[in-house]
Amino acid sequence: MAKQENQDDHEYKARSVALRLLARREHSRLELSLKLRQRKIDNDVIEAVLDDYQKQGWLDDERFADVYARQRMDLGYGPMRILGELQQRGVHHAPDCLDKMSEEDWCRRAVELREKRYGLLDLSEDWDEKVRQARFLNRRGFSSGQVERALEARSIED
């Protein structure tokens, strides 16, 4: 009897913690699983709770990936960084919002980010500044082609 009460207690704790976390923001299954493991909940209980929440539609990796990617895009991150971060969170496919973006769209975003951060001055004579800006855009997750296009962009006044 005591073992059954203990099992029910762990399941109740797992359900309440998972629901509280999902109420704050979307989580991937991997993120939620890790957070429940940190609270010393058994793997069997975690898997059962997460399976149930997926069936109910409360936990959805597709929805998480879409929301996460849109937020990161709005913050000025490029496709390589967003995909890498999604993989770290257990999502191994690109959400639709990333698939719909063309190479031209990503180049435009890289130019906008560069303009916001540094302005669009001509960098042909200033190698150190060009390298600095290129590193910044690379860290943000833009490809080398996108970075090159952004560094070639000039403001209309030039």
Per-residue pLDDT of 130-147, as tens digits, reads: 999 999 999 999 999 999
Q: What is the pLDDT of residue 33?
A: 95
pLDDT value at residue 96: 94
CB 120 within 8 A of CB 153: yes
- Asked if the model's pLDDT at residue 4 lies above 90, the reply is no
Summarised one tens digit per residue, pLDDT across range 88-132 is 999 999 999 999 999 999 999 999 999 999 999 888 899 999 999
pLDDT-derived band at 24 (thresholds 50, 70, 90) equals very high
Residue 41 scores a pLDDT above 60: yes
How far apart, in whole angstroms, are the C-alpha atoms of residue 111 and residue 117?
10
The residue type of 116 is K
What are the extents of the domains in the chain?
2-59, 62-99, 103-152
Contact by Cβ (8 Å): 153, 114: yes
Token pair, residue 34, equals 């890790």
Q: How confident is the model at residue 156 (pLDDT cuts 50, 70, 90)?
A: low
Give yes or no on whether 2-59 and 103-152 have one common fold.
Answer: yes
Could you give the percent of the chain with pLDDT greater than 70?
A: 92
- Give me the chain's average pLDDT, please: 91
CATH for 2-59? 1.10.10.10
Identify the CATH number of the domain defined by range 103-152: 1.10.10
What is the share, in percent, of the chain residues with pLDDT greater than 90? Answer: 85
